[in-house]
Amino acid sequence: MRFQILHESAGRVRLKAMQYSMSMEQADLLEAWVLALPGVDQVTVHERLGSLIVLFHGDRKDLYAQLSCFTYEKAEKEAYVLSANSRRINREYKEKMVFQVLWHYAKSLFLPAPVLQVINIVSSIPLLWHAVKTLAHGKLNVEVLDGVAIGASLLTGDYSTAGSVRFLLRLGDTLDAWTHKKSVDDLAKNMSLNVDQVWQLLEDGQEVLVPLAQIRTGDKIIVHTGHVLPLDGILDHGDVMVNQASLTGESVPVAKHAGASVYAGSVVEEGNCVVCVTHTAGENRYDRIVRMIEESERLKSGTEKRAYSLADKLVPWCLAGSALTWLLTRNISRAVSVLMVDFSCALKLSMPLSVLSAMREAGKHRTTVKGGKYMEILSKADTVIFDKTGTLTNACPEVCDVVAFHGLDQKEMLRIAACLEEHFPHSVANAVVRAAREQGLNHQELHSEVEYVVAHGIASRIGEERAVIGSRHFIFEDEAVKVLPEDRPMLDALAPDRSWLYLAIGGVLSAAIGIYDPLRPEAKEMVDLLHETGIRHIVMLTGDNRNTAAVIAESLGIDDFRAEVLPEDKAEYIRTMQEQGQSIIMIGDGINDAPALSLADVGIAIGSGAGVAREVADITIAAEDLRELVLLRELSQKLMGRIDRNYRFVMGFNGALIALGAFGLIPPATSALLHNGSTILLSMDCLTPLLPEIKRS
């Protein structure tokens, strides 16, 4: 397809697709395809204008060359579109709001008064009937308050006020529904699996890595330990333990055997399996996420719940105030003015909109927050605990040395190590595989099925011999591997300032692989900034040796550290800190971090980490920059500040309106206009960014 360049600037370009018209489906397909291009950071497609805005880094010419290859047929094979709901939601509610405003003012300007009165009476009947039914069920809420206010206006002949109140209520309901649906849709997309490639099992038994969009119903895909199931399907063969917490809420993994149904979004914690795909579209997963967001109480923070409770408790007081005003003044107009104001509408609308808007703002930084309560906890937490490998250190550790024992070949040892490590989503395993690839070592499958021992290592068989690779504890204590006498001096001479993987074949130490794990360049700044935001205690927990851990903790300014810890040790440390009254944030990326992530008050997973970690965590951040943690902390604190300000404004402003109405200083129509207008303006303010533009760039 050809594109016309409309505007260019540094890192940004606006283009127009050279086609007559663009459907919403085509727009979603184009957006998904362009967003997947290397160097592209953000894409916005306007289907009515047929244009797209691309934010990117890198060479502009490369971007144009890739765009020139675009076709919708190609995109259907390569791009993965989760849902087209967002465009439909925006178009539907924009048109609905425009129609409501135009109809309200058009009928006021062009229809005669008698006709307008009839329309106001007829249109008010559903609201009045709903209020009666609500009251009949023993409920006294804002619907009853609205019904009484409209009914009182009609009884006093103030048809204009009744119509204005009804219009503002409908406009507020439309805005509320639009914002809620759009926020839920955005969150659902942020919580999508972000899996673009899978291992497919061909009929000849060969395994190939293919784009997810190419998988069709009936295809067989391979899912290894620690990986997320990308699609729904039936377990073809393999016995696995599956973590379904994100879908079912089950706290423990579930055993799955051949013939069992498995679902996208669950994680294989133990074992490997082959799945026969039953659904290829993303809608099944998307719909479950939407239902989870809409129904789960996890979306509501404690502040939201308190606001909801207070709003319901204030309704009887509003009714009592109106009745008291009438008894004291015998002026129905003053009583109706009090009825026109209720605290429930503003409180119930502004609080959740603030939270959803903040969660959506976090999503723009590729940070997924699974519930409002986690942002509230994050704003008040005083202790942060970090895993080391892949979290504080660089996400891509490197192999710096390979030591082969008793005359074995270094390259052969690295090849075997890569063969064992290639199936497991850990940064150290990736480093071994990458080192073998850079040396041109072909590491086709030489072993039988592998067994992953969490936080320890990997065990398998090569021919008739048992092969194991992992930590010193795993190799020498759990596996009781022998060291030949002639190899002891070489083992003792291994540098203590780096991490070592040990490979043993047939129960004898065969090789040691040195891993250099450089610190993230922003880690020191991130630790300092966290301290500035009020975090009092920063701790590092790592399974690495004490010497390495001590050097890292000192260089980063970390308050405390624990070295050579197991997953259960991390969880126990967090439990102990919580018993001491501390609110814990845990950040990790590996399978071994999952117990600690789930136990912490807020668990934060690194986006490039293991699927288990991402699924059990409450928040997932992008892997590129740890300073996103500081941004998330500031965003949470500003959210709570906004909620507090909104609460004070609602109570103060609406309280003043009630007083003005009771003393007859403003008529009912003005009271309704000011109340509903302030609610809408407050809700619109809740949708504005919390962080300044410089921090969101």
Angstrom distance (rounded) from CA 357 to CA 299: 12
Q: Is the pLDDT of residue 351 over 70?
A: yes
**pLDDT at residue number 697:** 40
DSSP 3-state of 257: coil
Q: Is the pLDDT of residue 398 over 90?
A: no
Q: Are residues 123 and 146 in the same domain?
A: yes
**pLDDT at residue number 599:** 86
* Ordered DSSP codes for 593-630: GHHHHHHSSEEEEETTS-HHHHHH-SEEE-SS-THHHH
DSSP 3-state of 304: helix
Structure tokens at 106: 């058009």
C-alpha count within 13 angstroms, C-beta hemisphere, residue 634: 17
**pLDDT at residue number 297:** 42
Name the pLDDT band for 298 (thresholds 50, 70, 90).
very low
Sequence-separated (6 or more) residues with CB below 8 Å from residue 531: 538, 557
pLDDT over 90 percentage in the chain? 15
Closest CA to 164 of 682, 658, 668, 653: 668
**What is the 8-class DSSP label of residue 214?**
G
In a domain, 627, yes or no: no
User: Which tens digits make up the pLDDT trace of 516-546?
Assistant: 878 888 899 999 999 999 999 999 998 777 8
In DSSP terms, 461 is beta-bridged to 466
Q: Is the pLDDT of residue 293 over 60?
A: no
Structure tokens at 324: 């008291």
User: Which tens digits make up the pLDDT trace of 663-679?
Assistant: 878 877 677 778 777 87
- What length is written for the chain? 697
DSSP 3-state of 558: coil
Q: Are residues 407 and 448 in the same domain?
A: yes
Dihedral over alpha carbons 601, 602, 606, 612 (to 10 degrees): 60
With b for 16 or more beta-carbon neighbours within 10 A and e for fewer, the 144-175 pattern comes to bbbbbbbbbbbeeebbbbbbbbbbbbbbbeeb
Q: Is the pLDDT of residue 423 over 70?
A: no
DSSP 3-state of 13: strand
Q: Are residues 215 and 257 in the same domain?
A: yes
Q: Looking at residue 60, which CATH number applies to its domain?
A: 3.30.70.100
Q: Are residues 182 and 97 in the same domain?
A: yes
Name the pLDDT band for 515 (thresholds 50, 70, 90).
confident
In a domain, 285, yes or no: no
In a domain, 291, yes or no: no
Structure tokens at 658: 């009630």
564: left (phi over 0), alpha (psi -120 to 50) or beta: left
Q: What is the mean pLDDT of the segment spanning 569-587?
A: 90
What does DSSP say about strands 207-211 and 240-243: parallel, antiparallel, or unpaired? Answer: unpaired
Q: Which helix (H) or strand (E) holds 201?
A: strand 197-201
Q: Are residues 372 and 424 in the same domain?
A: no
- CA 208 to chain CA mean position, Å: 30
Q: Are residues 96 and 184 in the same domain?
A: yes
Structure tokens at 121: 């009476």
In a domain, 465, yes or no: yes
Name the pLDDT band for 308 (thresholds 50, 70, 90).
low
Q: Which amino acid is at 560?
A: D
Closest CA to 175 of 691, 697, 679, 689: 679
Name the pLDDT band for 587 (thresholds 50, 70, 90).
very high
Q: Is the pLDDT of residue 342 over 80?
A: no
In 238-370, the DSSP E strands lie at 240-243, 254-256, 261-262, 267-270, 273-277, 368-369
User: Comparing 395 with 214, which gets the higher pLDDT?
Assistant: 214
Q: Which range scores top for mean pLDDT: 63-67, 342-346, 401-405, 491-495? A: 401-405
Task: Single out the residue in 559, 591, 621 at which a domain terminates.
Answer: 621
Q: Is the pLDDT of residue 82 over 60?
A: no
Q: Looking at residue 421, which CATH number applies to its domain?
A: 3.40.1110.10
**pLDDT at residue number 506:** 92
CA 513 to each of CA 228, 490, 549, 653: distance values in angstroms, whole numbers, following the listed order: 28, 13, 18, 68
Place of tokens 């690495």: 544
User: Comparing 294 with 593, which gets the higher pLDDT?
Assistant: 593
CA angle 251, 253, 255 (to 5 degrees): 145
In a domain, 260, yes or no: yes
In a domain, 85, yes or no: no
Q: Are residues 105 and 142 in the same domain?
A: yes
In 76-152, the DSSP E strands lie at none
User: Which tens digits make up the pLDDT trace of 45-56?
Assistant: 888 888 999 988
In a domain, 207, yes or no: yes
Name the pLDDT band for 309 (thresholds 50, 70, 90).
low
| 302-329 vs 332-339: helix crossing angle, rounded to 10 | 180
pTM attached to this predicted model: 0.62
**What is the 8-class DSSP label of residue 212?**
G
User: Which tens digits make up the pLDDT trace of 188-213?
Assistant: 565 555 566 788 888 777 778 777 77
Q: Are residues 115 and 179 in the same domain?
A: yes
Q: Is the pLDDT of residue 490 over 50?
A: yes
Q: Are residues 409 and 528 in the same domain?
A: no
* Contact assessment for residue 282 and residue 185, using Cβ atoms and an 8 Å cutoff: no
* Contact assessment for residue 565 and residue 243, using Cβ atoms and an 8 Å cutoff: no
Q: Is the pLDDT of residue 61 over 50?
A: yes
**pLDDT at residue number 609:** 67
Mean pLDDT over the full length of the chain:
80
Neighbours of 67 (CB within 10 A): 21
DSSP 3-state of 477: helix
* Contact assessment for residue 341 and residue 347, using Cβ atoms and an 8 Å cutoff: no
**pLDDT at residue number 446:** 60
* Contact assessment for residue 579 and residue 596, using Cβ atoms and an 8 Å cutoff: no
Task: Single out the residue in 36, 55, 79 at which a domain terminates.
Answer: 79
**pLDDT at residue number 539:** 94
Q: Are residues 351 and 386 in the same domain?
A: no
- Report the number of distinct structural domains present in the chain: 5
CA 411 to each of CA 20, 419, 435, 489: distance values in angstroms, whole numbers, following the listed order: 59, 12, 10, 21
In a domain, 529, yes or no: yes
Q: Are residues 499 and 556 in the same domain?
A: no
User: Which tens digits make up the pLDDT trace of 472-481?
Assistant: 888 998 889 9
**pLDDT at residue number 249:** 47
Q: Is the pLDDT of residue 558 over 90?
A: yes
Place of tokens 């010497």: 547
Task: Single out the residue in 516, 532, 554 at which a domain terminates.
Answer: 516
**pLDDT at residue number 516:** 80
Q: Is the pLDDT of residue 350 over 80?
A: no
Q: What is the mean pLDDT of the segment spanning 584-607?
A: 84
Q: Residue 593: give the domain boundaries.
A: 368-394+520-621
CA angle 290, 294, 299 (to 5 degrees): 110
For 266, phi and psi rounded to 5 degrees? -80, 160
Neighbours of 21 (CB within 10 A): 9
Residue ranges of alpha helices (H) inside 389-426 are: 410-421
Q: What is the mean pLDDT of the segment spanning 10-22?
A: 88
CA 14 to each of CA 39, 44, 70, 72, 685: distance values in angstroms, whole numbers, following the listed order: 16, 9, 16, 19, 29
Q: Are residues 428 and 450 in the same domain?
A: yes
